[in-house]
């Protein structure tokens, strides 16, 4: 079955490229408080192992942004904020 797709541009998220005819990427989003680094890393890694190509993380404050640095250091998953 062929899916009709609209023309788009390439966008790179970590090691995944989306848009412009690339395969559809599976994404999911964490349901943790970003500042809870341990829980966020566990959830990111679980989503990555389950097949998510991109994992989204909410960053609503400077403290979340600071926590994201610690999360990034502990996972190989492709992250989007």
DSSP character for 24? P
Q: Identify the residue whose tokens are 């541009």.
A: 9
| Residue 11 domain-assigned (yes or no) | no
Domain of 31? 25-80
4 compared with 46, residue with greater pLDDT: 46
CA distance 23 to 16: 10
Confidence bin at 13 (pLDDT 50/70/90): very high
Residues in a beta bridge with 29: 56
Q: How far is Cα 55 from Cα 48, in angstroms, rounded to an integer?
A: 7
**DSSP-assigned letter for residue 61:** S
What local confidence, expressed as pLDDT, does residue 1 receive?
76
Number of separate domains in the chain: 1
Whole-model pTM: value is: 0.88
Q: Are 79 and 15 in contact (CB under 8 A)?
A: no
């Amino acid at each position: 079955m062929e899916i009709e797709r609209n023309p788009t541009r390439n966008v790179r998220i970590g090691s995944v490229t989306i848009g412009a005819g690339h395969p559809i990427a599976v994404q999911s989003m964490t349901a943790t408080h970003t500042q809870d680094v341990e829980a966020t890393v566990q959830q990111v890694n679980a989503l990555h192992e389950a097949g998510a190509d991109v994992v989204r993380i909410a960053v609503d404050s400077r403290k979340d942004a600071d926590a994201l640095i610690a999360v990034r250091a502990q996972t190989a998953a492709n992250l989007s904020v």
